[in-house]
Amino acid sequence: LTWERLRELSRDGCTVAVHGYYHLMLNQDLYDKDPKGFIKEIYASRKALEEKLNTKISAFVYPNGVYSDITKETVKEAGYLCAFTIRWGPLSSPLRQNENPYEIPRYMVYENNWGMISNSIVRAAADDDQKRCNVNEFAVRSSGTLPSSLTWITSPSRTPF
């Protein structure tokens, strides 16, 4: 992506996240061997993006999905609101509703794995819909009104946070 394209995406409402300065693996080993480099990955990358895009960056994506306790602590101390792993799994929206905002699952897409990922997402959505339908059907029959968990369908949040 060019800076101009990234600015355009940001202006159009896409959330831009930090992904490290040199894309180093942010684990305890890096912290122990090169604490300044470790810190630069988290802070300098954000500074560069914020200056170039003229916007606040509040999300972090662990390079290669690698992180440790010190990484999560440092990302949180740096003021990020959330961080994404490469563990597959469901997430809640808005993101603040997730159990641990510094270990949010995501799907890492490669050239040949989209079929597997899309099948996983569809299966998870179907399972979730079935659970939700059973619960919501009971709630509607019991109260005669739609449960508040369905209001996102008609009034989505404008921010993922």
pLDDT digits over 58-112, tens only?
999 999 889 999 999 999 999 999 999 988 777 777 877 878 899 998 877 777 8
Strand stretches in 26-94, DSSP E: 59-61, 82-84
User: What pLDDT is recorded for position 155?
Assistant: 29
CA atoms within 13 A on the CB side of 57: 27
User: What pLDDT is recorded for position 36?
Assistant: 96
User: What pLDDT is recorded for position 159?
Assistant: 44
User: What pLDDT is recorded for position 128?
Assistant: 64
DSSP class of residue 84 equals: E
Of 37-41, 47-51, 100-104, 125-129, which gets the smallest average pLDDT?
125-129
For residues 23 and 16, the answer to whether their CB atoms sit within 8 Å is no
Token representation of residue 128:
């979730």
